[in-house]
């Protein structure tokens, strides 16, 4: 059984926050038997990315030509850079993700755009993709983060 073990504040916007109330509180937990502590991100947050899942999904949908309309409001320079790096991470991981999702994605996936289009046919949201990957493979959409792997 885990216990609450404090919390920390995380920027709600890629540009940072000037006010304390512009940050999100992330709850931390601790497992007394093994001594590990971990954070639980809300469904709209991505590990190690200051971009909301909805914004990432909208940007990726546009890049994969699923929707023609861009993000509203358009991303500012910092957010645009974050989204570009996230897209690069996705395209680099196309083969890994294709193997992880297995039959949920088409076998003809060859690049980031076709992978994303196939993922969006199987999952209606980024949080559902993230849950699937963390539960079944202990990885995330944009990286194999150490925090998702159980202790040895």
By the 8 A CB rule, do 114 and 83 touch? no
Answer whether residue 48 shows pLDDT above 90: no
pLDDT at residue number 147: 64
By the 8 A CB rule, do 84 and 108 touch? no
Answer whether residue 125 shows pLDDT above 60: yes
* Alpha-carbon gap, residue 29 to 36, rounded angstroms: 8
Q: For the residues of 61-126, what is the DSSP string, one character each?
A: HHHTTS-SS--SSPP-HHHHHHHHHHHHHHHHTHHHHHHHHGGGS-TT--SHHHHHHHHHHH-SSH
pTM surpassing 0.95? no
Answer whether residue 57 shows pLDDT above 90: yes
Predicted confidence (pLDDT) per residue in 11-36, tens digit:
877 776 667 667 889 999 999 998 88
Extents of the domains making up the chain: 1-40, 44-148
By the 8 A CB rule, do 114 and 101 touch? no
By the 8 A CB rule, do 114 and 106 touch? yes
Answer whether residue 150 shows pLDDT above 70: no
């Amino acid at each position: 059984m885990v216990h609450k073990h404090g919390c920390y504040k995380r920027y709600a916007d890629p540009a940072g926050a000037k006010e304390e109330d512009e940050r999100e509180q992330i709850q931390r937990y601790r497992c007394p038997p093994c001594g590990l502590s971990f954070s639980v991100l809300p469904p709209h947050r991505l590990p190690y990315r200051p971009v909301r899942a909805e914004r990432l999904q909208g940007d990726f949908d546009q890049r994969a030509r699923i929707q023609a309309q861009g993000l509203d409001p358009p991303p500012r320079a910092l957010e645009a850079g974050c989204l570009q790096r996230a897209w690069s991470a996705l395209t680099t991981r196309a083969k890994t993700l294709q193997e992880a999702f297995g039959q949920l994605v088409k076998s003809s996936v060859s690049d980031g755009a076709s992978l994303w289009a196939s993922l969006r046919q199987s999952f209606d949201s980024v949080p559902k993709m993230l849950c699937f990957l963390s539960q079944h493979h202990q990885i995330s959409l944009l990286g194999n983060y150490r925090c998702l792997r159980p202790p040895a």
